[in-house]
């Protein structure tokens, strides 16, 4: 039994890592759409089309039993569409992250950071309000975080300044809980925590694990792991190493 995981690029390897560590026996196939990254500023219809092509690749080549959308932007726009289209279980990051935040917030003021696309979609906002309409929800798009992480500027004063600017806006609203609503932000978690130590930080890459367990897919021993990208595997190997250590990535063409 196998799980296909996809993301707009290699940031979703934070989700892959969390699943691989917690379900060592699962067969995992990962696809990062590096030819068309970022999804964060694309329109909903484009994100749906790209997501469909990623899902088709994983289903056609590995006959996956379930899909995990590691990308927050694609989870925001394409999850219902993919469930309907392919008829297999599809797990995204938005619902698990939202539940975790509602469960752990004490003062019922929650902040969300994500790409422009995720924030515009209001996916986390709506998911939280559906769970508990009394919660105050504040969002902030943080488009500078993805390039800073991809440029390896995690421990850098520029990144600290940007964190203070973005997260400071939400912090001043009195939030006690912050959802990291983008694949790249778990890499900034320690920096955010050190600048805003009182915040309860919800990492969607971890919150998703319960939903995967609930799929009740029988495991094999020694699960296979394969990672594919749609462009320039060599340059992405370096970034992937920040997340997974030594990593082999193969290149594929998925466009119809």
Active site residue ranges: 71, 182
The secondary structure of residue 187, as a DSSP letter, is G
Q: Which is nearer to ligand DGN, 3 or 217 (CB)?
A: 3
Give SS3 for 21.
helix
Task: For residues 48 and 3, give the distance between their C-alpha atoms in angstroms, rounded to a whole number.
Answer: 20
Which of 22, 127, 244, 114 is closest to 3 using CA atoms? 22
Give SS3 for 144.
coil
Least Å distance between CB 216 and ligand DGN? 26
Give SS3 for 1.
coil
Q: Which is nearer to ligand DGN, 98 or 115 (CB)?
A: 115
Work out whether 40 is an interface residue with ligand DGN (CB under 6 A): yes
Under 8 Å between Cβ of 210 and 22? no
203 CA to centre of own chain: 9
Among 94, 146, 163, 243, binds ligand DGN (CB under 6 A): 146
Work out whether 73 is an interface residue with ligand DGN (CB under 6 A): yes
165-199 in b/e form (b: 16+ CB < 10 A) is: ebbeebbeeebbbbbbbbbbbbbbbebbeebbeeb
Least Å distance between CB 72 and ligand DGN? 4
Q: Which is nearer to ligand DGN, 217 or 244 (CB)?
A: 244
Work out whether 33 is an interface residue with ligand DGN (CB under 6 A): no
Q: Which stretch binds ligand DGN (CB under 6 A): 71-79, 102-110, 216-224, 242-250?
A: 71-79
Q: Which stretch binds ligand DGN (CB under 6 A): 9-17, 57-65, 160-168, 212-220?
A: 9-17
Task: Count how many residues are written for the chain.
Answer: 256
Which parts of this chain interact with ligand DGN (CB under 6 A)? 7-9, 11-12, 37-40, 71-73, 115, 118, 146, 182-184
């Amino acid at each position: 039994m196998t799980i296909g995981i996809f993301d707009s690029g290699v940031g979703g390897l934070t989700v892959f890592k969390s699943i691989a560590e917690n379900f060592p026996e699962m067969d995992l196939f990962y696809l990062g759409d590096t030819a068309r990254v970022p999804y964060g500023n694309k329109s909903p219809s484009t994100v749906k089309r790209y997501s469909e092509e990623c899902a088709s690749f994983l289903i056609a080549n590995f006959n996956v039993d379930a899909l995990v959308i590691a990308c927050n932007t694609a989870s925001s726009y394409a999850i219902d569409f993919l469930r309907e289209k392919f008829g297999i279980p599809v797990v995204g990051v938005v619902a698990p992250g939202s539940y975790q935040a509602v469960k752990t917030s004490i003062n019922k003021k929650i902040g969300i950071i994500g790409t422009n696309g995720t924030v515009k979609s209001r996916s986390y906002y709506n998911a939280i309000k559906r769970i508990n309409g009394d919660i105050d929800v504040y969002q902030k798009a943080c488009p500078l975080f993805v390039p800073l992480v991809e440029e390896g500027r995690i421990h850098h004063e520029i990144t600290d300044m940007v964190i203070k600017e973005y997260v400071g806006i939400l912090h001043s609203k009195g939030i006690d809980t912050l959802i990291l609503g983008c694949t790249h932000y778990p890499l900034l978690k320690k920096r955010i925590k050190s600048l805003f130590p009182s915040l309860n930080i919800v990492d969607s890459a971890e919150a998703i694990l319960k939903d995967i367990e609930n799929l009740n897919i029988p495991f094999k021993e020694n699960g296979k792991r394969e990672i594919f990208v749609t462009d320039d595997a060599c340059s992405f190997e370096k970034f992937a190493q920040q997340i997974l250590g030594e990593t082999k990535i193969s290149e594929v063409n998925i466009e119809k």
